[in-house]
Amino acid sequence: MFLSHKTRGAISQIFLYATVIIITIILAFPLYWMFLTSLKPLDKIFVYPPTFTTKPDLENYITVWNKMGFSRLFYNTAKVALLTTILSVSVASLAGYAIARFRFRGRDIIGLLILGTYMFPGVLLLIPIYVFMARINLVNTHASLIIAVTTFSLPFCIWMLRAYFTTLPTDLEDAARIDGCSRLGALIRIVLPLSAPGIAATAVFAFIAAWNNYLFALTFITSEGRKTLPPAISTFITREGIHWNLLMAGGMVATVPVIIFFLLLQRYLVKGLTLGAIK
């Protein structure tokens, strides 16, 4: 029995939506379980069978906030993340535009080399970067953390913006230059406003990379007053055991700003990824 075209289309839509719902549930369940664990006392976490609902109890959040000084940690982490994002996007915009628009020998090779540097694991270059920071007296400063994180987020940011810039026609830039605009002026007044989705996608990537960075933050920052959230949350893992309730509560608090930042730029993020970054 042959199905009509309309019926096959309806079945395909149902199958697509069902698949999306199943994948969403699978991906969202760890976050749900993390939130659920953060509302439980420690002795209720390992009960069997596990409970999927619980009476809301904010005691863990209050303990984490008061014990760790989350307001200070939030400020330090936000400072590092925002400055890293601004620096990464600014440099990547100039570098990505140069690779996308200028014709010079070895341009494609340079683009591949830039992306190739992103494949190096951070731990591989941790000691050389630390020695460099020590020689210029930047250890235990937020500047060292910003530079180090930017070093590893910048190659991918350049690649994303370079791919997005290549999708933009050059006619508007040529018209602006005919009217007396310089190359830099055309970039600022024409290209960057049109590239808002790609810039937003790049900014989200750089922000998340800086906000979640643990390795460099643990290595370069030694004083309590300059610590960021990831190393501070890891202090709930002790020799006596893991305080899962406090660890999950701290993780939830640290996740909220990333979710808010993502939601604010979601509209631009989807468009930027689909138009340029995966070309």
Per-residue pLDDT of 134-186, as tens digits, reads 898 988 899 999 999 998 888 888 888 888 888 888 887 778 788 777 887 88
Query: Considering all CA atoms of the chain, what is the largest pairwise distance in Å, rounded to the nearest integer?
Result: 77
Structure tokens at 117: 């540097």
Per-residue pLDDT of 186-238, as tens digits, reads 888 888 888 888 888 888 888 888 998 888 888 888 888 888 988 888 888 87
Mean pLDDT within 241-270: 79
Per-residue pLDDT of 71-99, as tens digits, reads 888 899 999 999 999 999 999 998 888 88
3-state secondary structure of 78: helix
pLDDT of 103 over the 50 cut: yes
Within 13 Å, how many C-alpha atoms sit on residue 84's CB side? Answer: 30
Contacts of 261 (CB under 8 A, 6+ apart): 204, 207
The DSSP bridge partners found for residue 242 are 237
Give the distance, in angstroms, between the CA of residue 50 and the centroid of all CA atoms in the same chain.
32
The DSSP bridge partners found for residue 237 are 242
Pick from 106, 85, 122, 112: nearest CA to 217: 122
- Backbone φ and ψ for 119, nearest 5 degrees, come out as -80, -10
pLDDT of 53 over the 70 cut: no
Contacts of 157 (CB under 8 A, 6+ apart): 88, 89, 91, 92, 96, 202, 205, 206
- Identify whether the C-beta of residue 199 lies closer than 8 Å to the C-beta of residue 161: yes
Q: CA angle at residue 66 from 212 to 73, to 5 degrees?
A: 30
SS3 content of the chain, % helix, strand, coil (to 5): 75, 0, 25
Helix (H) or strand (E) holding 195: none
Q: d(Cα 128, Cα 134) in Å, to the nearest integer? A: 10
Per-residue pLDDT of 19-37, as tens digits, reads 989 998 998 888 888 888 8
Segments making up each domain of the chain, as ranges: 58-277
Q: d(Cα 228, Cα 251) in Å, to the nearest integer? A: 13
Architecture of domain 58-277: Orthogonal Bundle (1.10)
| pTM listed for this prediction | 0.78
